[in-house]
Amino acid sequence: MANQHYMSGRRFEYKVYHDLTGRGYYCVRAAGSHSKIDILAVKDGICLLIQCKANGAISPAEWNTLFDLCRGPTILPIVARKGNGKPEYMLITKRRGRGRREWEPFDPGEASETSC
């Protein structure tokens, strides 16, 4: 039987995947890869690199790697976490040290090249 923690994470990744495809994004899930990106979502010239964390907890090393991968103006580092019945998306705005997380709420439905 599969690890319960793994199964919970997998279910959440699919929830994020289906939420974004429902918003018109083309999504690819990196199944079982243990990479820094769980889902790649693309729509209208915007590329979202998403790390799915049900509780929103992401280590500084994971945070910075995700942030550093997003060098272009239309490549956005996103953390998806569980909200009230649906995924909640947070845009990483700065690299992170030991201090607080620099992120802000993000609505994939409102993303455009001009908003990046």
Query: 60: domain CATH number?
Result: 3.40.1350.10
Look up residue 72 and give its DSSP letter. S
- One digit per residue, the tens of pLDDT, for the chain of length 116 reads 457 777 778 889 999 999 999 999 999 998 766 778 999 999 988 899 999 988 888 889 988 999 998 877 788 999 999 888 889 999 999 888 877 888 999 998 887 654 44
| Cα angle 80-83-84, degrees, rounded to a multiple of 5 | 160
* 115 within domain boundaries: no
pTM of the model: 0.75
Please report whether residue 34 resides in a domain: yes
The answer to whether 20 and 28 have CB atoms below 8 angstroms apart is no
Q: Report the number of distinct structural domains present in the chain.
A: 1
